[in-house]
Amino acid sequence: MRGVSATRIALIYPELLGTYGDGGNAIVLARRLRWRGLPAEVVNVPAGSPVPDGCDIYLLGGGEDAPQVLAADGIRQNRAILRAVGGGAAVLAVCAGYQVIGTSYPSGGRIHEGLGLVDIETRRSFGPPDAAPPPRAVGDIVVEPDPRLGLPTLFGYENHGGRTRRLPGAGGFPLGIVRRGVGDGSAAGGGEAGGRADDHGGAPGTDGIVDGRVIGTYLHGPVLAQNPALADLLLGFVHGSALRPLDGPPETVALREARHRALVTP
């Protein structure tokens, strides 16, 4: 897919999907390539512009309800992301972007059609219609990744009002199990448990999805700055075994150790 050209990283509509600094994920990916001596190009795609074909990685961030709908409508117009994924491109979608890549999501009191990249749906609540919706999920989130990914514990923060679940027969698998926070907000049984078992009295819930080269998550941070191994997983989708390991700066290692002590260690 790439040949010898620069890895092209598309940052999609940062004016609409950049409320929580998720555009920093593009910087992380580009720098981790350049530190390896590999060329990288960040393609900034402003709102209202067609999403380009031919990029290697597509990034969607978080945003409020109205911008989320505008972004989804713009992305859907030329379906470039769907074509790119079919050709082997990778996608990282965070929060509002995560909801948008599913089949449907709520905004402004309505249910909107998603892009259908992954088999998930999002609602304000999956509880009974007459029940009050769960509170907004705000704060630190810790996710233990699926062992198949070979990743260390993931850290970030979340700020969303949606609850997300995989559809019956969905492909892929959850990014991981939520150890602190809410994430998707649905326990394995499909209820509103989420979070740690002792937070809500139910089984731990999950966060995100990994389906082929598409990753969705509720983790902000930016998530790739706080979790460089996840960044390398995405880059590995593009470069495969040619991607040599990087030693993390001492400051990054110390920060992750401090967060683990503060958020995970009993």
Given the residues 55, 95, 160, 200, select the one marked as catalytic: 95
**In whole angstroms, what is the distance from residue 101 CA to residue 118 CA?**
6
Partners of residue 210 on adjacent β-strands: 173, 215
> Can you tell me whether residue 141 is helix, strand or coil?
strand
110 marked as binding residue: no
Cα distances from 223 to residues 19, 105, 155, 168, in angstroms, run: 14, 22, 7, 28
CA–CA gap between residue 252 and residue 242 (Å, rounded): 24
Of 247, 231, 239, which is closest to residue 7 (Cα–Cα)?
Answer: 239
Is 55 an active-site residue?
no
Catalytic hit among 55, 160, 200, 220? 220
Among residues 99, 93, 27, the alpha carbon closest in space to that of 59 is found at 93
Which secondary-structure segment (H or E) carries 216? strand 214-217
Any alpha helices (H) in the chain, and if so which ranges? 24-34, 65-78, 80-86, 96-100, 197-200, 223-226, 228-239, 250-263
Cβ partners under 8 Å of residue 80, min gap 6: 50, 51, 52, 53
Alpha carbon distance 195, 177 (integer Å): 9
Are 119 and 140 a contacting pair, CB within 8 Å? no
Known binding-site positions:
136
Known binding-site positions for substrate:
136
Q: Which residues are known catalytic residues? A: 95, 220
